[in-house]
Structures are given as C-alpha cells and as structure tokens.
A and B are shown apart, each in its own frame.
Chain A
Amino acid sequence: MSSITVGDFLRSRGVTRRDFLRFCTATTVALGLPATMTPRVAAALEQARRPSVIWLPFQECTGCTESITRAHGATLESLIFEAISLDYQHTLQAAAGDAAERVREQAMKDNWGRYLLIVDGSIPTGNPGYSTIAGHDNLSMLREAADGAAAIVALGSCAAFGGIPGAQPDPTGAVSVADVIKDKPIVNVSGCPPIPVVITAVLTQYVTFGTLPELDALGRPKAFYGQTIHDRCYRRPFYERGQFADSFDDEGARLGWCLYKLGCRGPTTYNACATVKWNNGTSFPIEAGHGCIGCAEPGFWDNGGFYRPLSTGNWGSARTVGAAIGVGAALGVASAALARKRQRDAEGA
C-alpha cells in the first residue's frame, strides 16, 4: 500500500477538482449508487491510499490490457487506473525475467493479504509448459498469488470463463480463475475485451470503500451486467416492429434496422456496451453496423456461428436427419411386417 493518496496522485497529474468530481459522479452512477453518494465517493477516493495491485497475464492476447490502457487515451479513467500501485504487470513494466519476478515477490510479501490480484487470460491445466512466465507455470503462479490476495478481478472472458483458449478443441485445457481459486472473492469482468470503464469502476469502488460490487450469478458486477445489450439497444424498436436488416448492405442495414437476422447475440448477452459504449462513448459494435457476438458470455466462441440468427440453434445436420429417417423407416417397416404376420397367423388359425 503506497503512502501517497489517490487525491495527491491525481493533483500531481494536473487533474482539476471539477474533472475529479465529474469522474466521481459518473462512477457513482455507473456503480448503481445514488447520486447523493457522490460527495462520499469523492472524499473517500481522495483520501484513499493507493492499493497494491498485482496483475498476472496468462493465456491472453493483451487485448484486455490494450482496452484498459490505450482505448480512451489520457482520460480520468486511465488516470485512476494509474493511481493504483501497479506493482507487477509484465506487459507494461520495463523489467523482465528474474528481476520482474523479484519485484512481484517483494510486492506480495510487503502487502500479503491486502493486495488486489488482477488476472487476464485463462489458465492452462494440461501440460504446465503451455504457458510460463520466467519459468513458472500459470497454475502454480496463480495459486501462489491468490493465496495472499484480498480479492481477485478476473479481467476479460478468458480469465472469467476460459474464453477463446478454452474454445473447442481446447488444446491446453484452459480454465477460468474461478475454476482454480475457490477461497477468495472473485469479480469477473468479462468481455473480449471488457469495457474500460467497468474495470476502473470496480477498482474505484475497491479503492474508495474497500468493497467489491454486487455480483450476478456469473460473478459479474450487476451494475454493468444487469441487463442485456438487446434491452438497452437503440435498435430495439425495430425489433419490436419486425424491421430487420437481411444483409450488411441492404436497405434495412442502411436504415439502421435490427441485426437479429444477421446473428446478433444482443438478446442473450449481458454487458453495458449499449449504454457505456466504447472509444470514449463514441459507439459500440451494433451502432457500427455489426451484431453483438456475445463476447461477455461463457463459451461465446462455441455458441453457434456469429452470423446465424439466435433462433436457429444447433439442430443437427443433413447426416443426423438422414440417419433418423433411416432408423424411423426401418422401425416402421419392421413393425408393419410384424403386424402383417400376426394378421396372417390370425387368419390361418
């Protein structure tokens, strides 16, 4: 835990009081807290000590890190992210190899039982050599780091649910953090990648109140994952009226009609994309003309084709239907033959 407060840090970075309060208001509302809590959030956040955070990237593509650190540029959200004492993140830090590992071990020792552990990427349970950091395999590194953590944030769908590494045929036996760690509070911030403001809001709540947000059944903050994208989609009225784009370049697509027919997963995907949006609130995939692919949900990669409508399901194939026809026909012929034999026997008797 650093001796510098978050308020000191932000002032050192030239953040004005007005901008700071604006951020606190937005974060308070985003967390689902009443707006009257804003002064408390501001006061607590200003006085809060910078918490020690250890970030372990495992089987990941660095998209989550990119999302948090690069997407918005130098916004207050990214400054809050910087305001934490990020003691270990091997993608971002200059040190590497044994030197970096010593930093991690020292930070863990100094803050044992108090640091926040962020994990992005899934954990391979097959051959330990599938993914290693400075000679340490991911599974043992996670267990060791989780042991001294106050709480864990599983960042991105890979850490939250296994994600793309866990998609069929799952060559590495990839699992989520919650599959491995059972005795620590875990917040799943799913998405591929997750929305930056969601992770900063979780961090802000933790820094401000020392608590974690209320979670849904999949361990995600309810404030952001409480409603489907379809529920909050600006194209929803077109769905209700039965106005759909049939292709990505037809008249319906140009008129901004609903993308359900083109495979949009909005009705079964819980995330805040439609409200918080991306790139500083500029847009989100559906607004850009592409259906939601459901990346914040477990197993999204194996959940049918992204361009098949949600109502199609995995009904089988011509082969399975053909086999069913063959079996049904054989049973029908056999039962009729049996009945005919009984008829003949009865007539002969």
Chain B
Amino acid sequence: MNIPGNLKYTNDHEWVKVEGNVATVGITEYAQGELGDVVFVDIDEGLAEISKGKSFGTIEAVKTVSDLYGPFSGKLIEINSKLSDSPELINEDPFGEGWMIKAELSNTTDLDDLIDAEAYKALIGQ
C-alpha cells in the first residue's frame, strides 16, 4: 500500500500536501480501495471555503457514499475539474491526478492535528 512519506493524513483517510500556505487535498489509496469504483465527486462549485472537520462534499462510489471533510479551514482555490468527467482518477491515481481540492490555510496550526505517514500506516493496520 502506497503511503507517501511527504504527505500529512487525517483519520478520515484524506491526505494533505502542504506547499507554503496552500495545501492540496485528496483521499488515500487505502480509502479508494475501501470505497471501490468512484463514480462521482460532488463538491459544490460555488463553495468559497472549507472548514476543518466539516463536510465540503461527497464522494459517490458504486457501493456507497462518503463525506469529504475539511482537514483544515481555509479559502478554496481550485477544484480538480478533471474529476467531473473522470472520477475514476481517484481510484487510479489517488495521490496524483486524483487530487480533489486546493485551499489556502487560514491557520497553519490546523496542521498540528494531522498525522504523518507512520501514524497513518498504523491507523490502517499496515
């Protein structure tokens, strides 16, 4: 199971890649495996910001639906537009082409609650 060491993780199986005060968010390889085939990512296009711990959208898979939770609070910069036509990118390349949103960090202290790759590995029992 791929768990890149340069990313931060949440207990909800999302990953966060921090670059300066902007962070990219996606779901982990483990999460996509548990969900199965993703068929739609529903993130409101009018969404201006995400809030830590609050749902910012849903991810629909054949078998189930799952909420997406803000790993931190901040202004939304971009939604991965490729996902509307190719939601399967989340299954195929969860840490790359399957990224979901980019957002500006309001408080860098929000990152303190994220866990590192080792802790995430332990969380999923790898």
Please say whether chains A and B are actual partners in one complex.
no
Q: Identify the B interface with A (CB < 8 A).
A: none
Q: Identify the A interface with B (CB < 8 A).
A: none
